Each structure stands twice: as C-alpha cells, then as structure tokens.
Amino acid sequence: MAALPPGSTIGILGGGQLGRMLAVAAAQLGYRCHIYAPPGDNVACDVGAAYTVAEYDDLAALKAFADACDVVTFEFENVPVPPLETITGLVPVYPPLKALEVAQDRAAEKNFVRALGGKTAEFALAEDESALPAAIDAVGMPCILKTIRFGYDGKGQARITARGDIAGAWERTGSQPVIAEAMVAFDAEYSVILVRGQDGEIRFWDSPRNLHVGGILATSTLPAGALVERQQQDARALAAAVASALDYVGVFTAEFFASAQGPVFNEIAPRVHNSGHWTIEGAATSQFENHIRAICGLPLGATDTVAERVEMENLIGDDGDRFEQILSDPAASLHLYGKAEARPGRKIGHVTRLYR
C-alpha cells in the first residue's frame, strides 16, 4: 500500500482517551480523524474532524463510516469482530481483525503465545460454575479468576484463596466463562511496546516498570531496573514473534511479569497502551504518532528515550483537582482527557515527568 497522503481521513473505532490522543497525533501530521463510538462520554469526538455515534453492530452506520474513511484503526480492543468483517473489503483496517480475535479471548491469547514459545501462568478454563472446582484444582490456590472476554483495569477478576470464595468469585466475575489462573511470583511488572510497519519493520520503546493499584495502572517509570532490563531482550523477541504471526500493523503492547524464571507473559493489547503514554514527551516519537505513521504507510519514527528518568502517573477519580499543583512543577507535562465526570477508579488524565 502506498503511503496515505496528508489530508486523508483516518477512522478510529472507539471514543476514549486513546482515540483522543491518536487524533491529536494525526492532526499534527495533517490527517483528519473520524471517530466511531456508541453513545457515551466520547472525549475523542472533541478533537476529531467528524464523528459517528452508533452501536458497533449498526451495519448501515458502519458502512457509511467506512465509506468516509481512507483507513480504519482501533483505540479499544473490545469492539465486536463480526460486524467489522462487513467493512474490511471497503477500507484497509489496521491492525487486522485476527489481532482483536486473539486479544478478546484470554484462553486463545495464552495458547497463541504458548505456541510461539512464550511462558504464561498456568491456567484452566471454566465454562460454568460447576466447572470451577476442577479448574481451581488444576492451577492450585491462591489463584485469580478472569473473565474470558471484556475484562480490563482489574474488572472481571476475582481472587480465590479458599474454597469458600468460589461462589462469591463467580458472581463477582459476572457469572460467565472464566479462566482460573495461577498466581505468579514476580518482582516487577513491565510492558514491551513496539510498532510494526506495513513492511514488517519493528521498532521498540524502552520497557517501563509498571505499578498497579487495585488492578489499575498507577505509574510507569524508566529506567525499569536491572531485572527488567536483563529480561527485556527475551520479552521483545516474544512480542515481535506474536506481532509478526498476526501480520500486525501499528502499535502493539505485551505485558510481562519479571520473575526469577525469566519473563512470564501476562496479556496483549492490540493498540496504543496506557503504559506508553510517557512516550509523548519522553521519546523521540510517541506511540500515538508512530501508530499513525504505521497505519498510513509512512516511515516509522525513532523510539529513543530522551531523558535519564521518566515517570508517567495516571490521574484517577478526583486526582485532576490537583491540576494547578501539577502545572507548577517544571518537570511535569499534564494531559487531561476532558471527561464529564471524575468517578472513583476512572482515568481522567495523566502527568509525565522528565528528569534530565
């Protein structure tokens, strides 16, 4: 595919903050963005050139959206795949739908990675509550129940430490198919964020050390520490193998646990990722700009880290009330997403601090 010229329209499925930051990066390169999202607080629409508010299974609206775009991408991986198959012949779609299919099913995702030589936590599938005891026996306790589909930011998960927890855990995960996953002994969590172009070229950003609180990413920091840095090469090799096997185009993220036995794969995200927000100020080219470059067939940008130390902090709930304090810090760059309501547990912005 020839490079998409500036002035073309990029369609973005999903209306959240990732779409918002993609649209900003696209505008800097001279592209227009058309946002497609169901009704809701779609903050990406504030910065897009056009938007469609409709359900993902509205085939007429999807077709009109595709006809208005020169390329389509995602900011949200839980978009239903079957309706999207109706537009793949109308407009190029990156990343391919296969990446969504794998990422939307935790069991399929782990088996896909295992087939490529990756190490994952032990897991067992439970299609219904009656299958839970056997699945838990297979992995041992303590363990974590995770919904097969549609879990993020700690949602759709429940920890089990005793038999008496099973019934309550099944209810907390929505009484739907789950995997029971063994607990992993680890020293750090980190992510491998890469961009893969249409020609197969891959570039990596440095891996940040990620700290989660209540299942939600709190901070991503660089340097990530000696253990993560020793394991980064092997983790990168696996992430690149997964992206290549999917014929992936765009930014791709794989999350890992740093353990005494080496990198243990956790999950993939077929999109730009929260742990890569630091790249806006902290890297030569941000994850958002490089995603736009990749899906438009442009040369990829350099991914070098530009500061000795970088910290990205998520702003959650009423953290945004500290905006004046944050703006008084000369090391800080503030990003607020324009969300209408600052609910507990909701990401409403982030701040990146560079130390040179």
pLDDT digit string (tens) for 48-71? 999 999 999 999 999 999 999 999
pLDDT digit string (tens) for 217-249? 999 999 999 999 999 999 999 999 999 999 999
User: What integer pLDDT is reported at residue 291 of this predicted model?
Assistant: 98
Per-residue DSSP letter, 5? P
Q: How far apart are CA 345 and CA 303, in angstroms?
A: 31
pLDDT digit string (tens) for 326-356? 999 999 999 999 999 999 999 999 999 999 8
Give yes or no for residue 39 having a pLDDT over 80: yes
Tokens of 195: 């961009």
Q: What is the band of 205 on the pLDDT scale with cuts at 50, 70, 90? A: very high
Determine the distance from the C-alpha atom of residue 254 to the mean position of all C-alpha atoms in its chain, rounded to a whole number.
8
Q: What is the band of 172 on the pLDDT scale with cuts at 50, 70, 90? A: confident
User: What integer pLDDT is reported at residue 12 of this predicted model?
Assistant: 98
Give yes or no for residue 170 having a pLDDT over 80: no
The separation between the first and the last C-alpha atoms of the chain, rounded to the nearest angstrom, is: 40
User: What integer pLDDT is reported at residue 356 of this predicted model?
Assistant: 86
User: What integer pLDDT is reported at residue 169 of this predicted model?
Assistant: 77
Mean pLDDT within 161-177: 78
Tokens of 205: 């950003």
Lowest mean pLDDT among 124-128, 189-193, 219-223, 281-285: 124-128
Angle between helix 17-28 and helix 287-295 axes, rounded to 10 deg: 70
Cross-strand pairs, 13: 36, 74
User: What integer pLDDT is reported at residue 166 of this predicted model?
Assistant: 76
- With tokens 């002994």, the residue in question is 185
Residue percentage of the chain with pLDDT more than 70:
98
Give yes or no for residue 153 having a pLDDT over 60: no
Angle between helix 106-115 and helix 226-245 axes, rounded to 10 deg: 100
Per-residue DSSP letter, 209? E
Q: Give the H or E element holding residue 259.
A: strand 250-259
Could you give the 3-state DSSP secondary structure of residue 165?
Answer: helix
User: What integer pLDDT is reported at residue 238 of this predicted model?
Assistant: 98
